[in-house]
Amino acid sequence: MRWTPGDRGSIDDERGRTGMGLRGGVPLGLGGVVILFLLSWATGTDFLSMVGNSPPASDSAGNSAPPATTPAEERSVDFVDAVAKDVQDTWSRVLGGRYQPTRVVLFRDGIESACGAAQSATGPFYCPSDQRVYLDLGFFDELKKHLGAPGEFARAYVLAHEIGHHVQHLLGIDERLRGPQASRAGSANAGSVALELQADCFAGVWGHTAAQAGRAAAGKVELDPGDVEDGLMAAAAIGDDRLQRMSTGHVAPDRFTHGSSAQRVEWFKRGMTTGNPDACDTFARATR
């Protein structure tokens, strides 16, 4: 990928914040299920069953201090800012005045969001209550080392997916999970899968734009040959079937929350190919 560092205007840097109170109600983002499945698989402890049942801890708001960092980590911060800005520029063009910018909150170890407490194991997630994306940069290492999805575009796909959830929230799409249909038996998981697959497709919509030649000369993100394969690899790496097989040795489709590897690749590719969010109606297929 080719990109240019900016002014970090899309970032809220909370990496130096200490004493964060961590309480129950932890939201699970794109990467949360990844890390918790891997921990369960490696240790034999069902960490997934513990999510949302943590006892109350300190309510301290924490203190800010300059974060201890490295040049490599600072490059990652610049990368997240550049990608977040580019993704949002795309959606501003597509949606016009309907789009309202979000920001990416960087943290370490744990943080309080308007959706509840989160820890690094939660993974990247979007909180609709404060309309922010939350990310611990350490997830990028997990994506590379444990899931076999290296490369900058794999990281960009994760971020574009979470901003895709922001788009869904602005358009009221996430309300479908709270409507009458969501109360039907078996429909809750189907709705969750549809929402996640649509966010994958929305990530592809941005990827379609980023693949256009000549963008780097204008200071925008531009994909290089091979980047799309990195994104497809990331989508396949975090399919529910692959993670379940790693964790338990078998696949239970009725417990899917994000979609299979094949589904995630399919919808990401659809967004990449068409560049059209209208092609991302995963709910139509899920409710047939």
pLDDT tens string 200-215: 999 999 999 999 999 9
Report whether pLDDT(27) > 90: no
pLDDT by residue (tens digit) across 119-172?
Answer: 887 789 999 999 999 999 998 888 777 676 778 998 999 999 999 999 999 999
Closest alpha carbon to 8 in 111, 105, 90: 105
* Cα–Cα distance measured from residue 134 to residue 151, given in angstroms and rounded to the nearest whole number: 20
What is the rounded CA–CA span in Å between residue 210 and residue 245?
33
Residue-level pLDDT at 5: 96
Provide the pLDDT for residue 271: 96
On the 0-12 / 13-18 / 19+ scale of CB atoms within 10 A, 146 is middle
Q: Are strands 103-106 and 116-119 parallel, antiparallel or unpaired?
A: unpaired
Amino acid 274: pLDDT: 97
Find the helix packing angle between 240-248 and 32-43, rounded to 10°. 20
* Percent of the chain with pLDDT strictly greater than 70: 69
Q: Which helix (H) or strand (E) holds 269?
A: helix 261-274
Entry pTM: 0.81
Give dist(CA 125, CA 17) in Å, integer. Answer: 19
| Range 178-198 burial, b when 16+ CB lie within 10 A, else e | eeeeeeeeebeebbbbbbbbb
Average pLDDT score over the chain: 80
Q: Is the pLDDT of residue 48 over 80?
A: no
Q: pLDDT, tens digit, for every residue of 231-275?
A: 777 776 666 655 555 556 656 665 556 677 788 889 999 999 999
